[in-house]
Amino acid sequence: MTLINLVTKNDLIECINNVRNAGDKARSYSNYSEASVMVLFTNNYSNKDSSIIIIKRKSNLRKHAGQIAFPGGRKEKFDKNLQETAERETEEEVNISKDKYQVIGHFPKFYTGTGYVVTPYLGINNKEAEFQKKIKLNDDEVEKIFFAKTDLLLSPQYHIRDKPPINSSMHMTWKINYDNENIWGLTARVLVTISAGFGLREFPPCDDI
């Protein structure tokens, strides 16, 4: 796959198939809250390139304050399933409704040091959907929205294996520097796993926590 080109539905299907056994080791859910995120690929058909939508969370939030993340959050009782959670949170946080993109599938579960078991969903914009015009951040939760270039996020040369912040419960973490922002933890690990699913690198170890 050439990352400077458009990402296709078939690329994501192949990636998901390659990653189906690459999640964290299964463990009891009793100590974790279920959550999901939307990894939303958006193609610019004029420029023939692809981006992934990521957000910077507000610094005054109770959890994951100031961190770079995918749209998403904790499953609520009224959510029918985790895909609905990811779709609902995507609309709440960045104003993109589910009719503007197609969900291709999901990865295995990932566990976080903050007590969440997270299912990442992968989606791609409908050809006619112009996200740049429709997107709007939620002032209560989101500080900034990035259309981060896929080739920069997924290139192994930008993936750093490092120790986590001193107050983290993780043993190790992945870091990716993008636009002077530090992407780490779950978000970075999902991106590294996508990179491996595209065949760009080896699969990352699953012993962060």
> pLDDT digits over 17-53, tens only?
999 877 777 777 778 899 999 999 998 877 788 999 9
In angstroms, the CA 87 to CA 36 distance is 9
CA angle 149, 35, 55 (to 5 degrees): 30
pLDDT in tens, 154-208: 999 999 988 766 666 667 788 998 888 889 889 999 999 999 999 999 987 766 6
Q: 13 and 20 in contact (C-beta within 8 Å)?
A: no
More confident residue, 1 or 57: 57
Residue 95, Ramachandran bin (φ over 0: left; ψ between -120 and 50: alpha; else beta) = left
User: 111 with 24: CB under 8 angstroms?
Assistant: yes
Select, from the ranges 44-53, 91-100, 134-143, the one with the highest average predicted confidence (pLDDT): 91-100
Tokens for 162, please give them.
């490092």
At residue 129 the predicted structure's pLDDT band, cuts being 50, 70 and 90, is low
pLDDT reported for residue 41: 95
Kindly write down the DSSP assignment for every residue of the chain, as one continuous string.
--TTS---HHHHHHHHHHHTT-SPPP--GGG-EEEEEEEEEEEETTTTEEEEEEEEE-TT-SSSTT-EE-SEEEPPTT-SSHHHHHHHHHHHHH---GGGEEEEEE---EE-TTSEEEEEEEEEE-TT--HHHH----TTTEEEEEEEEHHHHH-GGGEEEEPPPTT---S-EEEEEETTEEEEHHHHHHHHHHHHHTTSSPPPPS---
Q: Which amino acid is at 154?
A: L
The CATH fold assigned to 9-154 is Nucleoside Triphosphate Pyrophosphohydrolase (3.90.79)
For the entire predicted model, the pTM comes to 0.91
Residue 27 contacts residue 62 (beta carbons within 8 Å): no
pLDDT of residue 182: 86
pLDDT at 63 > cutoff 80: no
Position 112 pLDDT exceeds 90:
no
d(Cα 113, Cα 115) in Å, to the nearest integer? 6
Residue extents of the structural domains in the chain: 9-154
